[in-house]
Amino acid sequence: MSLRTLSGLSGLSAGFLSMIENGQRHLERTSHVNALAQALRIAPAELLGQPFPPVDPTTGTAHEAVPAIRLALMAPLPTVAGPPAATTPLPVLTLRVRQANRLYHACDYTTLAHTLPGLLADLHAALEAAAPDQRPELLRLTVQAYHPACTLLLKTLGYTDLAFLSTIRAADLTTELDDPLDRALSGFFHTHVLMAAGNPDLAYSHAEGAADLVLESLRRPSSDRNRTVGGEREPLALLGELHLIRASALAQDLHRAGGHRADQVREHLEQAWALAARTGETRAWHLNFGPTNVMIHQVSLHTDLAAYDRALRAGQSLRTTITAPPGRIATFHSDLGRAMAHRRGHHAEAVGELLTAERAAPQRVRTNPAVRQAVATLLAQPLPVHVCRDLRGLAHRVGL
């Protein structure tokens, strides 16, 4: 395929593509990666070389567990109660699912990867033997094991096809529950996988459908809802997450007009801010929606839109307040570093931000394609000797 043809299909200029081909520019923006992947009819992971060959033993050990996770995902789902059998007690399974999701947010991918096959097998066995009155709770618990822990782990490690399979298994279980909130949650994680697969337009449509399900749930009388403990706070938190992921899908979709796209991103951010003001900081759905998460997304979205000065201003206001979990810290500092990598006079600071992100969550940062591209960009910049030394070390650890 000629550069001119590829330019026409991707919407990227032939001159820009020529510089990428000659190593003069790097694929730093997710929107560019997605546009090229769609034009070439391949997955973004293939274009980026994911899953990256691990250069440290810890990350390599996480990849070693993937075949066992694959087999657990391929096992048939129990659809009806089977004969009574000795299974893991429900309280124990509940604790194990919570721990799995804590491991994901702590970015301990190695421990989580080795935990998931046994956890999924035990949940399936419990479902098969469950009495009818216990089945709904076990169904929800199994869905919570599929996502975020399983789905986002596989997406992060670069196994988009397996992440998709995880969302399908979860969706099969939520169908039996017949609760719009459960279906909306499943749609949210499906949207994550569609974005990783390089289709932000379809991801946006999927998130729209999920948001409609949340609104449907909110219109129901509270007595008709399956979830009453958190009142409206849980569905509002999910609705806020769906606004943020729609903003992310728009920021990555080059087929939409730039100015209109930025306006739509801003509208979704404003809606997310309004919802965060109502919910405060939450842990609903094993997620972390709230004002802090919206501010982190501001940095990320401005960076993806190449509005680097806005990203830096948003980052400065948040830098002193961001707290655990480690994944959230790493996301903030890596996105701020990505923005600084594009601003003259900030390159040394960019290296510092990326190193801070790595210290918070090494396994997450070392498998992040956007960080990898930012490091490649910074390697071409003139930097003080001590900064160059630190940057070269980071480059090795991310596989460059």
Query: Exposed, middle or buried by CB within 10 Å (0-12, 13-18, 19+), for 94?
Result: middle
Is position 348 within any domain?
yes
Is position 284 within any domain?
no
- Checking if the pLDDT of 51 tops 90, the result is no
Q: Which residues have a Cβ under 8 Å from the Cβ of 361 and sit 6 or more positions away?
A: 106, 107, 326, 327, 329, 330
Candidate from 6-20, 192-206, 291-305 with smallest mean pLDDT: 6-20
Residue 53: half-sphere exposure toward Cβ, Cα within 13 Å: 3
- pLDDT confidence bin for 133, thresholds 50/70/90: confident
Is position 49 within any domain?
no
- Checking if the pLDDT of 39 tops 70, the result is no
Number of H-type helices and E-type strands within the chain: 22, 0
Is position 113 within any domain?
no
- pLDDT confidence bin for 47, thresholds 50/70/90: low
Is position 30 within any domain?
yes
Is position 7 within any domain?
yes
Is position 297 within any domain?
yes
**Distance in angstroms (rounded) separating the CA atoms of residues 221 and 205:** 27
What is the count of structural domains for the chain? 2
Q: What CATH number did the domain enclosing 321 receive?
A: 1.25.40
- Domain span including residue 30: 1-42
- Checking if the pLDDT of 229 tops 50, the result is no
Q: Write down the mean pLDDT value for the chain.
A: 84
- Checking if the pLDDT of 53 tops 70, the result is no
**Distance in angstroms (rounded) separating the CA atoms of residues 209 and 264:** 17
Q: Are 333 and 325 in contact (CB under 8 A)?
A: no
For residue range 135-144, list pLDDT tens digits in order. 899 999 999 9
- pLDDT confidence bin for 31, thresholds 50/70/90: low
For residue range 339-360, list pLDDT tens digits in order. 999 999 999 999 999 999 999 9
Is position 301 within any domain?
yes
Q: Are 28 and 304 in contact (CB under 8 A)?
A: no
Q: How many CB atoms sit inside 10 A of residue 283's CB?
A: 13
